[in-house]
Amino acid sequence: MQTALEFHDSVLTAVYWREDRLTAELDAYLHRSTGRPGIDRGTGWQGLVRLSLAAGGGGGKADDLPLDLSYGGVEVRGKKFDNVLPIPSAFATPARVTLVCTSGLKIVLAGTCLDAVLVGEATYVEEFTGQESSGAERR
């Protein structure tokens, strides 16, 4: 079973420094599937995801947390993950995380490497029937 974070439908709950790492925590919507999470039939879950960037920095004001996300993406090694990121993920090269809030606020985090992990257990939410040409359908 594979798991992926869907930035849309997730909530940014914390941004903080710990040692030399910039960390963002999301109350995340997660797709689980035996195929491609977020595309193929599977299930939807809710859980805490921690995105941690070494030697990180960023831009945008995340003062009024929590913030509902309408979009997010990760760019690493020239590869883009558009709105969906495999969990867990570990990239040992420079990474950039872009979070767009439903308010229009854009937050950009960058660092020399990125770790994305589920913290604790996720809670089952729903069945996911898979994507159709018009977009994702949840039931």
pLDDT digits (tens, 9 = 90+) for 59-93: 777 778 999 999 999 999 889 999 999 999 999 99
Task: Examine residue 138 and state whether it is found in any structural domain, yes or no.
Answer: no
* Distant-in-sequence, close-in-space partners of 96: CB < 8 Å, separation ≥ 6: 74, 75, 76, 108, 109, 110
Q: Span 5-19, mean pLDDT?
A: 94
Place of tokens 């491609």: 36
Task: Examine residue 68 and state whether it is found in any structural domain, yes or no.
Answer: yes
Give the count of domains, the chain. Answer: 1
Task: Examine residue 135 and state whether it is found in any structural domain, yes or no.
Answer: no
Task: Examine residue 134 and state whether it is found in any structural domain, yes or no.
Answer: no
Task: Examine residue 139 and state whether it is found in any structural domain, yes or no.
Answer: no
Which of 54-58, 95-99, 112-116 shows the lowest mean pLDDT across its residues?
A: 54-58
DSSP secondary structure string, 26-87? Answer: EEEEEEEESS-TTTSSEEEEEEEEEEEEET-EEES---S--EEEEEEEEEETTEEEESEEES
Range of the domain at 35: 2-129
Distance CA 62, CA 121 (A): 26
Q: What is the pLDDT of residue 62?
A: 74
Whole-model pTM over 0.75: yes
Task: Examine residue 137 and state whether it is found in any structural domain, yes or no.
Answer: no
Rounded to 10 degrees, what is the CA torsion of 117, 97, 16, 26?
A: -50
Distance CA 12, CA 25 (A): 6
Task: Examine residue 125 and state whether it is found in any structural domain, yes or no.
Answer: yes
Task: Examine residue 109 and state whether it is found in any structural domain, yes or no.
Answer: yes
Residue 55 CB neighbours (<10 A): 12
